[in-house]
Amino acid sequence: MRSLGTKTVATLFLVATAALLAAPAADAHSVLVSSTPAKNASIATAPAQVSLEFNEPLEHGFTQLAVTGPDGASHWEGGQPVVSGPKVTAPLRPLGPAGAYTVRYRVVSADGHPVSGTIGFTLTAAGPANAVPAAAAEPPRPAPPSDSIPVWPWVFGAVILLVTGITVARRIGRAPAERSSVD
């Protein structure tokens, strides 16, 4: 018959295993909370800048932002994006033809993962400016997949399970004479 200590260790092992297997992966990447102009907005007056606000502070120096016009090739950004905490702001040149504009962004969240996306808005009245060819501005490079799950928590959990399993097996495998003398 097993002792109370062995049953307790075995129960704790099973509970720990179930907790590790049932735990969801954490997703702490930055998420776009709001933008100016707002996503899918129709505006009559061209904005002087684009602002993107995220749910957490961003890393400085890694932000890329491009604004393309209705032709999909002309660029309208007027300078480098500026990061201030969770907010990215970039100046725009006066916009040109009426139509759909796309803001492409790539930022690095506080946890070091790149986050990229697009927002669109529609300019309903043409502006005074002419487009800058695509070669004059450098659009953001495609980001590597940011939805990968780190491996280290799984390795750490596996090591804990292995050590606990070995401990339980050694306790259960002891000879009955040893158990009765120890317990």
Could you tell me where the beta strands, DSSP code E, fall in 41-164?
Answer: 41-43, 49-54, 64-68, 82-84, 87-91, 99-108, 114-123
**pLDDT number for residue 15:** 67
For residue 180, give every residue at least 6 positions away whose Cβ sits within 8 Å of its Cβ, in sequence order, or none.
none
**pLDDT number for residue 116:** 94
What is the H or E stretch that residue 14 is in? helix 4-22
**pLDDT number for residue 62:** 87
**pLDDT number for residue 128:** 76
Contact 50, 35 (CB under 8 A): yes
Sheet containing 41-43, strands listed edge to edge, beginning at the edge strand earlier in sequence: 41-43, 114-123, 99-108, 64-68
pLDDT over 90 percentage in the chain: 45
Over the chain, what is the mean pLDDT? 80
Residue 143 has pLDDT above 60, yes or no: no
pLDDT digit string, tens, across residues 31-41: 999 999 999 99
List, in order of start, the domains of the chain with CATH numbers.
32-136 (2.60.40.1220)
Q: DSSP label at 65?
A: E
